[in-house]
Amino acid sequence: MNRMDLVSAIAQEAGMTKKDAEAALGATIDAITKALKKGDKVQLVGFGTFETRKRAAREGRNPQSGEKIKIAATTTPVFKAGKALKDAVK
């Protein structure tokens, strides 16, 4: 499912126009993104939790040459599915 398929599904499920569904989806994604940028956790009970985690700097290898390279520390977004979502997918 891509973004437009999701917009169509939201519009049909909520009984709204595709334009309104696109705006709602965009606003939701923007709000989640802004919260994660600030370091906040976004918890949707029953669905899951969006949060960020820090990955430490580490040493890796270039797969083509085999030489050692340094991989910088970074912060990555993480999603952990909630119990209701896990049960629905089973």
Residues 22-60 have pLDDT tens digits of: 999 999 999 999 999 999 999 999 999 999 999 999 999
The CATH-assigned architecture of domain 41-90 is: Irregular (4.10)
For the chain, give every domain's residue range.
1-38, 41-90
Q: What whole-number distance in Å separates Cα of residue 33 and Cα of residue 22?
A: 16
The answer to whether 68 and 60 have CB atoms below 8 angstroms apart is: yes
Q: Output the pTM of the full model.
A: 0.81
What digits encode the pLDDT tens for the residues 66-86?
A: 899 999 999 999 999 999 999
The answer to whether 79 and 50 have CB atoms below 8 angstroms apart is: yes
88 phi and psi angles, rounded to 5 deg: -70, -30
Burial of 21 (0-12, 13-18, 19+ CB in 10 A): buried
